[in-house]
Structure 1
């Protein structure tokens, strides 16, 4: 009776080992591939952005029009020159 039980237990263990050695799950391979490509894309963009910030000159501000300057001075209570 013990031999039969031991034999069945050994057979079931052998089947489990066979199933695990079958290979990777295809879904896992696709997930790792897509995740790796996404990670490379994000890191690459960060590196390019960092490099561009170091090498590109700062943006020039648009010149403020005379009309806007006059309006700003009037809001602050300072009279515009020539008035």
Structure 2
């Protein structure tokens, strides 16, 4: 009954070169290199944009201090607030 099969003596091409690793690329390695490369490009791009923004953008303005907060700070330092 086993002799009836036409392809009984042939090896499928997927199992033909199991020991030969130089035949093709490992798909896991391709994915790893692709993801690693994209992450590297992303990080380097962010660094370049950050340094460019530091050089070109003006410094951020501080928020104006409210009168209530100034009064509290003066009282802490021992200076009386004007008008009291």
TM, length-normalised to structure 2: 0.73
Give the match for residue 61 of structure 2. Answer: 60
Give the match for residue 13 of structure 2. Answer: none
1:28 deviation in Å? Answer: 0.4
Gaps of 5+ in 2: 1-16
Mapped to 2, the partners of 1:21 and 1:33 lie a distance apart of 20
Gaps of 5+ in 1: 1-14
Q: Give the number of equivalent residue pairs.
A: 68
Tell me which protein shows more helix as a share of its residues.
Answer: 1
Does residue 40 (structure 1) correspond to residue 56 (structure 2)? The answer is no
TM, length-normalised to structure 1: 0.73
Runs of 4+ deviating beyond 3 Å: none
What RMSD in Å do the two structures reach over aligned CA positions? Answer: 1.7
SS of equivalent to 1:21: helix
